[in-house]
Structure 1
Amino acid sequence: MKDAYDDDGKLAPESIDSTVLDRIPRPTGWRVVLLPYRGAKKSKGGIVLADQTVERNQLTTVCAYVLRIGDLAYKDEAKFPNGPWCKEGDWVVFGRYAGARIGIDGGEIRILNDDEILAVINDPEDILHM
């Protein structure tokens, strides 16, 4: 997954290797698989951040890229009368402690229930990361 990010720390989904995507768990039922936002490797002042700092930022982020959606996600019309809250390829916000964290080669993914998505955003850089 490390190759999916450019030098500025922005995710380039088209550069995610298909063999890596094939190895990512397929969500069952109403679950959603997310790739947490990693952030830049340099500060705004140009200081290169340590790998440990970048990894900590990824662990504490509340923004993620939707990689996969389970077959039953957003199908309950009583619960989601206006349709799906998100789709594959969206950037979303979720609760800090929501879902299961699963380590993969080059980082981690999160698996959440479909109703744990709080918002859809255009760009994770628009959200303050603490």
Structure 2
Amino acid sequence: MKLLIADRDETERLGIRWLVTSSSLPFTSVLLASTLEETLKIIESERPHVVILELDMMKEDSFSEMKWRLADYVKKVIAITTEATFARAMEGIDLQVEKLLMKPLSPMQLQSTLKKSLLEIESQ
């Protein structure tokens, strides 16, 4: 299974990758993206099973493109944000995310969400 971590903050990306690779989560590939353009390219070329997406990296004009690429190529999306706003929650709903997590991330909550996503993918 492939995981894409799309976050502007390098420390966050590397921290999440470390958490995933040092746990028993069965990802064979953990991909990283730091920009929206990079994220869209990786989604289309690599077709990751799960994407951890920082909502704050998206601009309003790119939202619809991200929405259709996620719907076409990705099985599960976990959204993360620094802003606990209604607008961010609505974006998450519109993207049909598995869960919306707030930064700073709880390692236990992220692992639990990833495990749940993997179980649902395997049962499909």
Greater share of helix: 2
Indicate the structure whose relative CO is greater, using CA pairs within 8 Å and at least 6 residues apart: 1
Question: What range is the shorter-chain TM-score in?
Answer: under 0.3
Using the size of structure 1 for normalisation, the TM-score is 0.27
Larger radius of gyration: 1
Normalising by structure 2, we get a TM-score of 0.27
Whichever structure has more strand as a proportion of its residues is 1
